[in-house]
Chains A and B, each alone.
Chain A
Amino acid sequence: MINSSSDNVKKLNSINRRMFITGSLKFFVMIGIVSRLFFLQVKENKKYLTLSDKNRIREWKLAPVRGEFHDYFGNVIAGNFEAYQLHVIPEQVEDFRYVIYRLKDLLELSDNEFKKVLKKKNEIKPWETLIVSDNLSWQKFSKINNHLYDLNGVKPVISISRNYPFKENFTHLIGYVSQANQDDIESTQAIKKNFVPGLKVGKVGLEKTFEEKLIGTNDIERYEVNAYGRRISQLEFQKGEKGKTLRLTIDTEVQKLANELLKDKAGSICVMDIYTGAVVAMHSSPSFDPNLFVFGISQDDWQLIRNDPMKPLVNKTLQGNYSPGSTIKPIVALSALENGIVNTSFTVRCTGKTEMYGQTYHCWKKKGHGYVSLRNAMKQSCDTYFYEVARKLGVDKLSETAKKFGLGEKVFGDLFDIEKKGLIPNTQWKKNALGKGWLLGETIITGIGQGYIQTTPIQLCLMTAQIANGGYKIYPHIVVDDKAKDQPIDKFTPLYKNSKNIKIVQDAIFGSTNEVMGTSYRSRIDNPKYQFAGKTGTAQVKKITEEERELDLKTFQIPYEQRDHALYVAFGPYKNPRYALSVIVEHGGNGSTTAAPMATKLFKLIIDRHKIRESLRNKKYLEI
């Protein structure tokens, strides 16, 4: 025996002592592990449970359903329709090449469109949806449905999309929607919040102004996903809210007539309720079909619209700065009466031209009007009379009255970001803007609405409405129930010093339309139900030289761009007025021959529809 028993005992003592140490160590380490487990699983459980849910649950937002636009009578003028779309999820397709070529044949895709689809396919993950076509015709859609047996993984989908049933009728008013871009997302909170790829948002007009109300909220699908982002199962579907539907004060019938009247012409027609400020029609011509923009306009269509010399992209009602021409005369007359410069018996002798400050100023009538009083001058639109009145009045007093009646500032406030202010000049303005002193000659031409003065068609309409209603302030609006605009605190603030003066001007305008020698006499309606009063205007777009004056050319003999703008403002029915309108036809020649006859047709329709409109009115307005 080599191992002595004493050595054995020592060895056993040693190993047992060390086993005891090891055992104790193990015990403590074990406690450490258990406390770590306790910490993670019991104490911090909530935190990790949240993290685990964040890992596995992912939300998919679907495009919200956009609110609609209705006209005053509840007709849908911007609605939603079911677009037939074709979706493919590439990973669910066995033979992608076969399917995509088959689709190309069935849909008759052009090579260009086909390339676009393939490019899109390469940009997305294989389990994401590839939209092959976003707006199929019913024929093609049903054709695809018939061939589905051999198109594995192709999904025909019905999706909600914007539709403008009246096409070009409301384009400038409502605007249109199109795919949201980076700017839209950054500038509007509601778009950012509800954004999904392919979301369509308002680009111009009311569609843009009321984006936040119209957009609605997303449907939200919650899916359980795996670590690679693949959907495993749907956990929840949260229905979104449809956007708010806005009812407008517009009458589609009148709007359609306005569109018809201005067909193939450039110009604008506005119709307004003179007591409520409700805009009944507002059209700018030429227009275009807003439906073209919903799924992205084609290059050809875009070029056609962009290069049209009549500028369909410009909203002439709000953006068009025009010289008001003779349509400013009621304001000049009113201002002179209010300031006590003239009275009804004040007369001026018109010889066809007058010399002032070394300049010759012509009346439109070469032979002259002879002796004219205010009423006659207005009726025959005598320029000489208003030269004299303006001279005596001075531009500063004139501009004060003009501004009071709504000229020179935005009619709709910030409702349309494109709206122009126009320009009502005065001496101070010229000094500030041009750094020159005001010339008296400039006052004189301002008196017939030429020179620096510029107005938009909607301003002229408002001006006429406020004269027609007896000289009270109104607040034009387009959207019904737009509370801020519907309940002005200072309702029916008088704009006049003496209501008699308004009556005098109204009467003079009446004469202009309804009496022999009146400039728009030929457009009158004798039936008192429809009888209206209006003032013509012919705005020069360039200075007429003496030579041209001698030639006395007819409108059709002048090149289009140099022809005068034809204007007309009117209100009716005369006995108990309710509506005011303004018509502008760009390069239309003469206000009395081009613009005034349109008013005749408009008043017939507007007044016929008044009863129906009145029956829908839910608010009482004070009679004045």
Chain B
Amino acid sequence: MYQHTRLTTNRLGFFQKFRNFDYILLVCILLLGFISLATMYSTDGGEIKFHTKSHFTKLAVFTLMMLVMSFINIKYWFSIGYLAYVAVVGLLVGTYLFGITSSGSQRWINLYFINLQPSELMKIFIIVCLAKFFHRMKLENVNSIYTILTSLIIILLPMGLVIVQPDLGTAVLIAISGIAVLWFAGINYKYFIYTILGFIISLPFVIAFLKPYQKLRVLTFLNPDKDPLGAGYQIIQSKIAVGSGGIFGKGFLKGTQSYLEFLPEKHTDFIFTLFSEEFGFVGSAILLVIYAIIIYRIVAIGASSRSYFAKIFCYSFGAAIFVFITINMSMVLGLLPIVGSPLPIMSYGGSSMLATMIGFGIVMSARVHNQQLIA
């Protein structure tokens, strides 16, 4: 039934594609990469050590990968949507079976050349998969039971696999990515309202089922001063670091909280704390502006795309990235409990960066091929 004749239109040459690049987005990503490298250099105590080197390598390889991806027609990304989802679910199953355990959680899988955290990739590929799922759907079918159940299964399957690792934080982020797609696809408002209400009502029961350390995190968030050297230590030290930064910060490589090792996990989840301590309110605001421009460009690319798949992917990816950033920042600023979510690009960690760069790659591809229609 489907006609594929329109797929042949808009064949672009190499230089044309090059001209179609979103240079503002590219510059912002590169700028962010540079900032993250400088911050990583600071976490290494002002020397080029393991973390800086490794972060640089990943940044270089994955940026290159993103550029290559942007030359590949958006319709190919569309076509591998389900396959990629199934592949990552496979990896999650593999992780469950043969994963590497580290600090009480089985999150990584050894792929011989890289230790991968498939749950991070799932944050992106669940968007690709669901975007494809809704691409052809008529608006009147979106709210059918079949659609809702199918999309819920698509979301809950990887979530379950991540929760058993256990890694509640990433599972929640995967869910948020998925829900973002459902939102843009046009699922009725009432379902979201019901879900939110249901969540609030069931919250006490959920808390009862949380693992002790997760419960502790919630309690600590509510009152970090209760146990300042134990569970509350991270959040208190993080707030001290950020607060002591002031308007202009303590200066590059001069963050006492970080180089005297008061700050926990400064390479990963708390990288923003270190940045904020050294560059102050002004630096943090500039970083936020860069992130805002990136998100704005992603949304703008979605708006200018002709295909529904590209549109829904860009919007959802933009929303997801925004949520990742806000959750991370709220966490280190003491607005949310510690859930363990990296700050995109800034945080050390290959899988997270790989996922984010794949997302940027698809967005960039959507930009280059924005006139491409997908049947």
Within B122-149, which residues are at the interface with A (CB < 8 Å)? 136, 138-139
Within A33-61, which residues are at the interface with B (CB < 8 Å)? 33-34, 36-38, 40-42, 44-45, 47-49, 51-52, 55-56
Docked CA distance A14–B184 (Å): 8
Chain B 302-335, CB within 8 Å of chain A: the 1/0 string?
1100001001100100010010001001100101
**B260 with A224: CB separation less than 8 A:** yes
Residues of B within 8 Å of A14, CB to CB, are: 139, 186
| Stretch from B91-99, B154-162, B240-248, B356-364 contacting the other chain | B240-248
The one of B260, B299, B326 in contact with A29, judged by C-beta atoms closer than 8 angstroms, is: B326
Docked CA distance A52–B183 (Å): 43
**B183 with A51: CB separation less than 8 A:** no
Docked CA distance A52–B254 (Å): 13
Docked CA distance A191–B239 (Å): 38
Q: B1 at the A/B interface (Cβ < 8 Å)?
A: yes
Q: B370 at the A/B interface (Cβ < 8 Å)?
A: no
With A7-B139, A22-B315, A37-B276 already in contact, the answer to whether A42 and B247 are too (CB < 8 A) is yes
Q: A11 at the A/B interface (Cβ < 8 Å)?
A: yes
Residues of B within 8 Å of A158, CB to CB, are: none
**A49 with B243: CB separation less than 8 A:** yes
Q: A3 at the A/B interface (Cβ < 8 Å)?
A: yes
The one of B186, B292, B335 in contact with A36, judged by C-beta atoms closer than 8 angstroms, is: B335
Q: A23 at the A/B interface (Cβ < 8 Å)?
A: yes
With A3-B138, A23-B299, A40-B333 already in contact, the answer to whether A232 and B260 are too (CB < 8 A) is yes
**B256 with A52: CB separation less than 8 A:** yes
**B184 with A41: CB separation less than 8 A:** no
Quick one: closest B residue to A226, CB to CB?
B260
With A14-B186, A18-B183, A55-B257 already in contact, the answer to whether A1 and B3 are too (CB < 8 A) is yes
Within B331-360, which residues are at the interface with A (CB < 8 Å)? 333, 335
Q: B21 at the A/B interface (Cβ < 8 Å)?
A: no
Interface residues on B, range: 35 or more
Within A1-29, which residues are at the interface with B (CB < 8 Å)? 1-3, 7-8, 10-12, 14-16, 18-19, 22-23, 26, 29
**B242 with A48: CB separation less than 8 A:** yes
Quick one: closest B residue to A6, CB to CB?
B139
Q: A30 at the A/B interface (Cβ < 8 Å)?
A: yes
The one of A29, A36, A45, A51 in contact with B246, judged by C-beta atoms closer than 8 angstroms, is: A45
**A26 with B335: CB separation less than 8 A:** no
Quick one: closest B residue to A29, CB to CB?
B326
Chain A 215-232, CB within 8 Å of chain B: the 1/0 string?
000000000111110001
Within A175-207, which residues are at the interface with B (CB < 8 Å)? none
Within A418-436, which residues are at the interface with B (CB < 8 Å)? none
* Chain B interfacial positions (CB closer than 8 Å to A): 1-3, 136, 138-139, 183-186, 237, 239-247, 256-257, 260-262, 276, 280-281, 284-285, 288, 292, 295, 299, 302-303, 308, 311-312, 315, 319, 322, 326, 329-330, 333, 335
* Chain A interfacial positions (CB closer than 8 Å to B): 1-3, 7-8, 10-12, 14-16, 18-19, 22-23, 26, 29-30, 32-34, 36-38, 40-42, 44-45, 47-49, 51-52, 55-56, 224-228, 232
A-B contact pairs, 24 of them (CB 8 A): A2-B1, A7-B138, A10-B139, A11-B139, A14-B139, A15-B308, A18-B183, A30-B326, A33-B326, A33-B330, A37-B281, A37-B284, A40-B239, A41-B243, A45-B247, A48-B242, A48-B244, A51-B240, A52-B243, A55-B256, A55-B260, A56-B260, A224-B256, A232-B260
